[in-house]
Amino acid sequence: MNCILQAVQHRIGVAAWQAGRDASQITLLAVSKTVSASRVRELALQGQRDFGENYVQEALDKIARLQDLPLIWHFIGPIQRNKTTAIATHFDWVHSIDRFVVAQRLSEARPLTQGPLNICVQVKLEAEPSKSGVSPEGLPELAAQIARLPNLRLRGLMTIPRASMEWMQQRAQFAALRRLFEALQVQFETAGQADLHAGNVQLDTLSMGMSADLEAAIMEGSTCVRVGSALFGKRI
């Protein structure tokens, strides 16, 4: 697996160089859903630190088995209301917020001793029924609501775009999220921080790009690529 990790890191490095960016500013998030704890440990021992999970119970088992390792756990799947306490307690990041009620429950459940939970708002760029996410039109209000929650830190945006093998189509979708991100930065700069809890907004994260399109995402400013199959193989 060492060669596989190096190959993905090389892809990120080349893409960053082509975009005129520093590869060290791009996080490789290894998507480990359905992958055993032993395979996660193997990758972690090669230096991988960030892992993404979609299913709460599966993730909790891995987190418990791997608690001896200094890993950073990201929840990237749809969130059920009855799972918010577990997510708030055991994860460092959540990338899939698309409703205020879920964000509010996460804030209420986050232990104060752990510090704010890092949050990305999931945006649905196109009307695909199978995908979650707030609409671009609803994003400004949702972000403003989340920014007022005391135990969350709003870090940025996430999207799962329509699958495409065409380079320009990939870039166009990621560029759309980047523009929304830039508009959100202006929104908070204009509003100021007077009505917000100190430190609850740190807009520095664009979670976009996966195994098949990470190069296009990096070209459009991604700071976190979520890679599963390129690291662990296709899931059955």
Query: Domain of 208: which CATH number?
Result: 3.20.20.10
| Residue that the structure tokens 């459940």 belong to | 109
- Local structure of 29: helix, strand or coil: strand
pLDDT at 77 over 90: yes
Amino acid symbol at 149: L
Count of domains in the chain? 1
Q: For 214, how many CA atoms within 13 A lie in the half-sphere containing its CB?
A: 27
Give a yes or no: residue 139 inside a domain. yes
Domain that holds residue 6: 2-191+201-232
HEC profile of 110-150: CCHHHCCEEEEEEECCCCCCCCCCECCCCHHHHHHHHHCCC
Predicted TM-score of the model (pTM) = 0.95
**What is the overall mean pLDDT for the chain?**
93
- Local structure of 154: helix, strand or coil: strand
Condensed to tens digits (0 to 9), the pLDDT of residues 152-186 reads 999 999 999 888 889 999 999 999 999 999 999 99
Give a yes or no: residue 196 inside a domain. no
Give a yes or no: residue 52 inside a domain. yes
CA distance 17 to 2: 22
Condensed to tens digits (0 to 9), the pLDDT of residues 7-36 reads 999 999 999 999 999 999 999 999 999 999
Backbone angles phi, psi at 150, to 5 degrees: -70, -25
What residues contact 78, with CB distance under 8 A and at least 6 apart?
Answer: 54, 96, 132
Task: Name which of 128, 133, 135, 160 is nearest 225 in CA terms.
Answer: 160
CA distance 143 to 104: 12
pLDDT, residue 194, reads: 47
Contact assessment for residue 38 and residue 54, using Cβ atoms and an 8 Å cutoff? no
Contact assessment for residue 99 and residue 74, using Cβ atoms and an 8 Å cutoff? no
CA distance 11 to 13: 5
